[in-house]
A and B are shown apart, each in its own frame.
Chain A
Amino acid sequence: MNELEMLVEALGIELENERRSAVLAAFQPVAQEIAKLRSLDLTDVHPAVVFSVMPANEQD
């Protein structure tokens, strides 16, 4: 079982065998690009994610 298959198991993602093969095959090129992203050291960079402390209906 490779890393991706173990991830599917660990996350409890329910996929029939045929679907699992198709999804994992399609994910391979994506995984390669994400591996490049993981290789970057961005420790000191705050992610471009912000939130408002106000409730949604009071943000205007």
Chain B
Amino acid sequence: MQENPITRPIAELSADLRLGKLTSVDLLENALDRIAMLDRKLESFVCLAEDARVQAAAADREIGQGRWRGPLHGVPVAVKDNYLTADMPSRAGTDAPGVHFARQDSAVVAKLREAGAIIVGKTRMHEFAWGNVTPPSKNPWDLNRVPGGSSGGSGAVVAARIVPVAMGSDTGGSIRIPAALCGTVGLKPTFGRVSRAGIVPHSWSLDHAGPLSYTVADSVYALNAISGHDPKDPGSARTDVPDFTAALGQPITDLRVGICRNHMFDNNQPDVDAAIEAAIRFYRDAGAQLVEFELPILAFGLGAIFAIELSSSTAYHSRNLASGAVTGFTNDVRTLIEMGRLITGPDYLKAEQLRRVLIDDLARVFADVDVIIGPTCPLTAWPIGEWTVRVGAQDESVLAASWRLTYPWNLAGLPAISLPCGFDSNGLPIGLQLAGRPFDEMTLIRAADAYERGHGWKDMHPKL
């Protein structure tokens, strides 16, 4: 067996599994060895599946009998702790007594199992997906820094090359922020593309499910497996699901790349701005057309997402408020849930009006562009315990800064991807964000894959 096969992308693993050059059991043992060796430092798994070896042996039998299910068959993947699972407890990041979740597979976990993936364990998240840090998980590039969040455990285990795909959820950036801070790919599909049934809700109209992965292609294999209409999710869309792998390896000479010069470039760390400008030049040099524009409505976006997210979360937790269970929550999450009661009905509806304007304004922009490019985060991973950092010309709350460039795509529900695009002067990863038209993940993937193929960032791993 090759050394550390689990560190290779899915296309390679899948080919070897199918040809019998590698077994799922061996691949799983490699993942478990790396968990034993690395997760003492990373603290990113909260639970491992007791039946993982049984799952892997079953995959080997099926593949051996010629019943290959697809690229994920026999490949270990992890899921965030807010995805319900039948074979493992779910805690959604909370230790509070009196809060219980069903022991059944969420729709995404069921689809991953159907695709033959080995669900190896559950990853750490911030309590109820609030916030953009994931204590006590560490960033594999610097163990003194945060991995981001709220899917921070998923970001850390992918960056540490423990599993090629870990599922996350994204309400204001919770897939893309840890992807950017940990140097992985993170894909938030269009709202409605992937079912949230069986994922502990945070904010019903903002929550998205999606993968973090080694490569763009790895996210594509996961997206192919988990997409599709689900009547159990009221937000699920009735729309065709293409084979997203068709977008891989395609040219981008006809691509129109939009650059939103307000908001997205207002106040970023200089190394972040430099990396994104280099990425923009890559697209220009590859023949893409660059289109600059401004979106003034973004100046009002933060109030809108606050109003929707706070009121929704407080509504979801009304039972926990009434029972007093919130007293067992971490202090910051309890405060946010208690605070949501201060959002008025008109505030909430005005936020939904703002959302309508944003969606319509973006539709006009997308008449002239195919993707919108910018940074995922204005800053790189910050030291654990630090609450303000220098961003651009001013000191800023890390929590306020970190989701500034991601939440617009949750408000609009548009697909967005973060992928590595370089490192800052401290050797910390920088994330490039691309966003696309509703349900046009194909163009998004084509643009991201072309950038990834043109650079070597995906082959740079943290030394742990």
- Which A residues are in CB contact (< 8 Å) with B342? 4, 7-8, 11, 13, 23, 27, 31
Cα distance A33–B343 in the bound complex, in angstroms: 12
Cα distance A37–B310 in the bound complex, in angstroms: 15
Q: Is the CB of A30 within 8 A of B339?
A: yes
Decide yes or no: A45 and B356 within 8 Å by CB, A34-B303, A34-B306, A59-B234 being known contacts.
Answer: yes
Q: Is the CB of A37 within 8 A of B303?
A: yes
Proximity string of chain A (37-60) to chain B, C-beta cutoff 8 Å, 1 when within and 0 when not: 110101001111100000010011
B166 to chain A, nearest CB (A): 30
Interface size class of B (residues with CB under 8 A): 20 to 34
- Which B residues are in CB contact (< 8 Å) with A49? 349, 352
- Which B residues are in CB contact (< 8 Å) with A13? 338, 341-342
- Name A45's closest neighbour in chain B (CB-CB): B353
Majority DSSP secondary structure for residues of A touching B: helix
B407 to chain A, nearest CB (A): 11
A11 to chain B, nearest CB (A): 6
Cα distance A40–B331 in the bound complex, in angstroms: 33
Cα distance A19–B117 in the bound complex, in angstroms: 46
Cα distance A19–B331 in the bound complex, in angstroms: 10
Q: Is the CB of B355 within 8 A of A59?
A: no
Q: Is the CB of A40 within 8 A of B306?
A: no
A37 to chain B, nearest CB (A): 4
Interface presence of A1 (CB below 8 A): no
A59 to chain B, nearest CB (A): 7
Q: Is the CB of A34 within 8 A of B353?
A: no
Interface presence of B194 (CB below 8 A): no
Which of B302, B306, B336, B355 contacts A48, CB < 8 Å? B355
Q: Is the CB of B338 within 8 A of A15?
A: yes
- Which A residues are in CB contact (< 8 Å) with B343? 34
- Most central of B310, B349, B350, B355 by chain A CB within 10 Å: B350
Interface size class of A (residues with CB under 8 A): 20 to 34
- Which A residues are in CB contact (< 8 Å) with B310? 30
- Which A residues are in CB contact (< 8 Å) with B339? 23, 26-27, 30
Q: Is the CB of A33 within 8 A of B303?
A: yes
Cα distance A49–B335 in the bound complex, in angstroms: 27
Cα distance A13–B353 in the bound complex, in angstroms: 27
B366 to chain A, nearest CB (A): 17
- Most central of A26, A30, A60 by chain B CB within 10 Å: A30
Q: Is the CB of A45 within 8 A of B300?
A: no
Q: Is the CB of A37 within 8 A of B350?
A: yes
Interface presence of B371 (CB below 8 A): no
Q: Is the CB of A36 within 8 A of B355?
A: no
Decide yes or no: A56 and B234 within 8 Å by CB, A4-B342, A45-B356, A48-B355 being known contacts.
Answer: yes
- Most central of B303, B351, B355, B400 by chain A CB within 10 Å: B303
- Which A residues are in CB contact (< 8 Å) with B97? none
> Which B residues form the contact surface with A (CB < 8 A)?
231, 234, 299-300, 302-304, 306-307, 310, 331, 335-336, 338-339, 341-343, 346-347, 349-357, 359, 400
Q: Which A-B residue pairs are the 8 nearest by beta carbons?
A: A47-B352, A37-B303, A33-B303, A60-B231, A42-B353, A48-B355, A45-B353, A48-B356
Given contacts A30-B303, A33-B302, A36-B303, 19 further A-B contacts (CB under 8 A): A4-B342, A11-B341, A13-B341, A19-B338, A23-B338, A26-B335, A29-B400, A30-B306, A37-B304, A38-B347, A40-B300, A40-B354, A47-B352, A47-B356, A48-B356, A49-B349, A56-B234, A59-B231, A60-B231
CB pairs A–B below 8 angstroms (22 shown): A4-B342, A13-B341, A13-B342, A22-B335, A23-B339, A26-B335, A26-B339, A27-B342, A29-B400, A34-B306, A37-B350, A38-B303, A40-B300, A42-B353, A42-B357, A45-B357, A46-B356, A48-B355, A48-B359, A49-B352, A59-B231, A59-B234
